[in-house]
Chains A and B, each alone.
Chain A
Amino acid sequence: SAVISQKPSRDICQRGTSLTIQCQVDSQVTMMFWYRQQPGQSLTLIATANQGSEATYESGFVIDKFPISRPNLTFSTLTVSNMSPEDSSIYLCSVNDGSSYEQYFGPGTRLTVT
């Protein structure tokens, strides 16, 4: 299994600022995934982050808006840049531990942009 922690758990930010969300896993994983859950909505994949390479973004998400770092096999960050109220969401990171088909999700970061 994999245990995932995220920081911060929640934040309230002003329009035009940026926030970096951290994701820490208790074991080494090849791929980490970032998801967004807008209020009352389902989860949407933002990007896939492999260690040592550029993140791969899904349609509708761009690196300038959501830069991602993946410096090692247990850690990743997602930055939400130049925020607007439409960015108010829960952001979750997710991993597969590689030994099973289980996918694990972090507790999420609840972001409110005012």
Chain B
Amino acid sequence: ELKVEQNPLFLSMQEGKNYTIYCNYSTTSDRLYWYRQDPGKSLESLFVLLSNGAVKQEGRLMASLDTKARLSTLHITAAVHDLSATYFCAVANTGNQFYFGTGTSLTVIP
């Protein structure tokens, strides 16, 4: 079974600061996803990373994928309060079954 580790579990950061969330996975996969979840809500798709070296950016969030290291990062630039949420990475196998990281609960403090 594919295992996905994510850290940190909790992240409290001041507005305007930068930080990175890390996602490691245990076996080969060519698809890595990042989702955002607000309290009481379902998952919102942020990024789909499909190849080694893939980098995608949307606003203050940037995601990258290193398939050789089995590592993805989600970098937050100049955080704002609206980014407060829980962020999940997930790895998909060839059968489209998803295995999720533990999640990172992000709180941005004014």
A interface with B by C-beta (< 8 Å)? 31, 33, 35, 41-45, 48, 58-59, 92, 94, 96, 101-108
Q: CB distance A42 to B45 under 8 Å?
A: no
Q: CB distance A101 to B42 under 8 Å?
A: no
Most buried by A among B42, B50, B95: B42
User: Hey, which chain B residues are within 8 Å of A45, CB to CB?
Assistant: 97-99
Asked, given contacts A101-B31, A101-B48, A103-B96, whether A43 binds B42 with beta carbons under 8 Å apart, the answer is no
Q: CB distance A59 to B92 under 8 Å?
A: no
6 smallest A-B Cβ distances: which pairs? A105-B43, A43-B100, A42-B100, A96-B96, A107-B42, A42-B103
B9 to chain A, nearest CB (A): 10
User: Hey, which chain B residues are within 8 Å of A31, CB to CB?
Assistant: 95-96
A10 to chain B, nearest CB (A): 10
User: Hey, which chain B residues are within 8 Å of A103, CB to CB?
Assistant: 33, 45, 92, 96, 98
